[in-house]
Chain A
């Protein structure tokens, strides 16, 4: 028995501890906002936070994250009110949208450790997230916009 704490809620997991967190989230616990893209940690579609750090859920066994704090896209803001979610909507970043859960989770982690990233910081932090639709340019703009929004929120 493994306890998985997801978005603040504890879940009992009784299956194979070697199962990648991605499939535990999606198939067993029904958090389908976290996406499959490659299964090899190459594309970032499955990015979630474990104790605040972005990790690739497709190559992280469930047993490795027991008792740690897991945050998925569903755990940001259900109403889409997180500044990053707001910025994404303001700039109409998404095309198909499939990779955007992972993009957003990587962006949130970046902004949590660097409130005002420059273009190079963004390119580095986001280099593991692929978008086949090619929304990179807007993602970059949206991260800058989110940084500005966060400053405004703090300042107000």
Chain B
């Protein structure tokens, strides 16, 4: 039987090889609790509460714990780069260890584009304090001033005398020293970085990926493990009426049929209910599920029909129930305007479709759970399993596998709970796998949205009024039954509209949810940036101005915007405006940069068009220009995409570029193809043939440049997504004269 790499808590520590000859360090964050006992005993620093461990063994191997989930963003490479740089480590001597789910690490929620944003400084400090202790240990041995030593390639050197000691040989002595105070840490200067900001670091998992040797959630194999699929309600909240367990059990290989508890709203991260079929292999489980002949009770959510729902959203936009930002008097300004422009935008319900659907393997034994899952949030998985099964949180061990894509779906651990419930009930290790149909039809969806915008122009053509009304079912409905008004979604590209306009109003109408609403890569920035980025371009054309020049002029003077002065509660992605300002100068800089890259203003062949858009999200700034062309059949292709990104200091430029390339494709998918529709509460799409995403021939050439910056690192995984769709539609307008305000574009027959 194949052995999986990650092991449970006890095994984890054993694997780390904690011993008296190991130096273990932690980083203190204010929100953290205590160090695990086994480690505390070694470090002797119980007051320290790490979120990242650096362990250096006598064998000269530097083990770095990555406590965030790897889902393609490259965090298993970027975290070690940060730590190793400050430490002065030899990249060839680094072992990357995936951290278990444990609140002792601080937040492990790998979402919101914040792994580097939140942990850059603590990770540097972890590396620096380890390095300084090793330096001190060497200085003591040599009887020299510690300032005469330095760390290079896992070695402390004394340049004056040419003496050198390996990290490994200093472990015992360094372990006796007290940890330096944070205030005394000497961090490297940017010019001295060996890894941070460099593009030549190979992916930590690169070789394993190309040899098929990695372990994703779907790949976990345990001794005596059985395979399960679950028949879940086709309509949210529908309870099981009847099913034929015997027919399922008659399928060769089927071992058990288990009815799961019915769901009660709010859904939170609870399983949806339904009936599980457990078998000796996946194929038997799938065939068994087909034989169940399940009947379902009715659910109130079967009233959900996409066509009617769209009309209701449009109406709701006209009846705003919550004002989110007000500056000046928009109504008055619109009534006095020389010209008023109106436009409505629609983005359908969407789903993540990571190439690996959700999967989790659970083994309940001796009162504890050992669980392996492709989760973005091991701690909420832990808490959810504990809550659903009555097992204490500390007895739920969540091993994080690699994730075959996440995009927000795997932040919701319902699938982990399913595996736990089944393993506890059947007393065998169980792997629950979601098929593609399950993933599409029972997801946590990106909310469908309708938006109505109005702009008032005075006699000189200046925009004096901006009104933006939205209706979209809220993520809050997942956590609070019946919630029908957006909350934090407003922070994502709606109330932070940056144009310099005297009268502004942003408001939301009610929108009851009929499916589970979740967050998907860049979340409601998708809708809001599409509407704002398209509408500002429409205004430019109405005024007969160049799109780029107009965009720059709309941003006004260089300034840092405080939306609280305009009656808006702006969250700024959990960051302060002092550290991460909303800076129009940086917005203009990415626009200028991308314009130079794409040679904006150049003469284009017939049927070609350029489109531009800029959006700030997750405290980073991305401007993009898209070139499209129309062929003789009237079909549009996206040929090139240029992206300029200012994400503050670029820790791993190579992965920043890859994230931008991927973001362009992600956005191209929903711009061109992706759409979910509901009929009587049932999602009508179920696989890649009817829920399409971009394929090879759709892919443009994407050119990425990163603004050189010393600002604190911002988000990277999501900010590339929002500006792409408006840039595509703006480009199509320039190529064809046709303005498209509803996605996906396939409905118009142009792709």
Contacts and interface: CB of A to CB of B under 8 A. Distances in A.
Interface of A: 15-16, 19-20, 23, 26-28, 30-40, 42-43, 45, 72-74, 76-80, 84-85, 88-89, 92, 94-101, 104, 122-123, 126-127, 129-140
Contacts of B696: 122-123, 126-127, 129, 136, 139-140
Contacts of A137: 661, 699-702
A78 B210 CA distance: 9
B357 to A, nearest CB: 8
Interface string B178-212: 00000000000000000000000011011101111
A133 B662 contact: yes
- In order of increasing CB-CB distance, the 7 nearest A-B pairs are A33-B212, A134-B665, A98-B404, A95-B72, A96-B72, A73-B212, A97-B209
Contacts of A31: 212
A16 to B, nearest CB: 6
A130 B355 contact: yes
A122 B695 CA distance: 12
Interface string B646-676: 0000000010001101111110000000000
A80 B207 contact: yes
B278 to A, nearest CB: 13
B216 interface: yes
B202 A94 contact: no
Contacts of A84: 210
A134 B355 contact: no
26 contacts: A23-B282, A32-B2, A33-B211, A36-B218, A39-B437, A40-B689, A43-B688, A73-B211, A80-B211, A85-B211, A92-B202, A94-B206, A94-B209, A95-B74, A97-B402, A97-B404, A98-B216, A100-B210, A130-B688, A132-B355, A132-B666, A132-B693, A134-B662, A134-B666, A135-B662, A137-B702
Given A16-B253, A74-B212, A94-B203, A35 B404 contact: yes
Interface string B338-363: 00000000000000011111000000
B307 to A, nearest CB: 27
A133 B72 contact: yes
Contacts of A72: 212
Contacts of A27: 227, 280-283
Contacts of B286: 39
Which one of B284, B357, B437, B696 has the greatest number of beta carbons of chain A within 10 Å? B696
B149 to A, nearest CB: 35
Contact of A130 (B283, B661, B695): B695
Contacts of A20: 283
Given A40-B687, A130-B688, A137-B661, A96 B402 contact: yes
B433 interface: yes
Nearest to B213: A33
Given A19-B283, A80-B210, A130-B695, 15 more contacts: A27-B282, A27-B283, A28-B281, A32-B218, A85-B211, A94-B210, A96-B402, A97-B209, A98-B402, A98-B404, A127-B697, A129-B696, A134-B662, A136-B696, A137-B701
B433 A36 contact: yes
A31 B213 CA distance: 9
B405 A133 contact: yes
A132 B357 CA distance: 12
B430 to A, nearest CB: 13
A89 B206 contact: yes
A133 B356 CA distance: 11
Contact of A136 (B218, B283, B405, B665): B665
Interface of B: 1-2, 70-74, 202-203, 205-207, 209-216, 218-219, 221, 227, 252-253, 280-284, 286, 353-357, 402-407, 433, 435-437, 654, 658-659, 661-666, 687-689, 693-697, 699-702
B44 to A, nearest CB: 39
B661 A135 contact: yes
Interface centre among B74, B212, B227, B433 (most CB of A within 10 A): B212
Contacts of B72: 94-97, 133
Among A16, A31, A35, A131, find the residue whose CB has the most chain B CB atoms closer than 10 A.
A131
A89 B433 contact: no
A104 B210 contact: yes
Contacts of A126: 696
B281 A92 contact: no
Contacts of A133: 72, 355, 405, 662, 665
Given A37-B436, A127-B695, A132-B407, A15 B654 contact: no
Contacts of B402: 96-98
A69 to B, nearest CB: 18
Contacts of A138: 658, 661
A139 B209 CA distance: 14
A20 B284 CA distance: 11
Contacts of A123: 696-697
Contacts of A129: 696
A101 B212 contact: yes
A92 B211 contact: no
Contacts of B663: 134
Contact of B210 (A26, A40, A88): A88
Contacts of A37: 355-356, 436
Given A89-B210, A94-B203, A132 B283 contact: no
Nearest to B221: A30
A76 B436 contact: no
Contacts of B283: 16, 19-20, 23, 27
Nearest to A18: B283
Contacts of A23: 281-283
B658 A95 contact: yes
B661 A96 contact: no
B669 to A, nearest CB: 8
Given A131-B355, A135-B662, A136-B699, A32 B212 contact: yes
A124 to B, nearest CB: 8
B211 A95 contact: no
A92 B218 CA distance: 23
A131 B205 CA distance: 18
B282 A92 contact: no
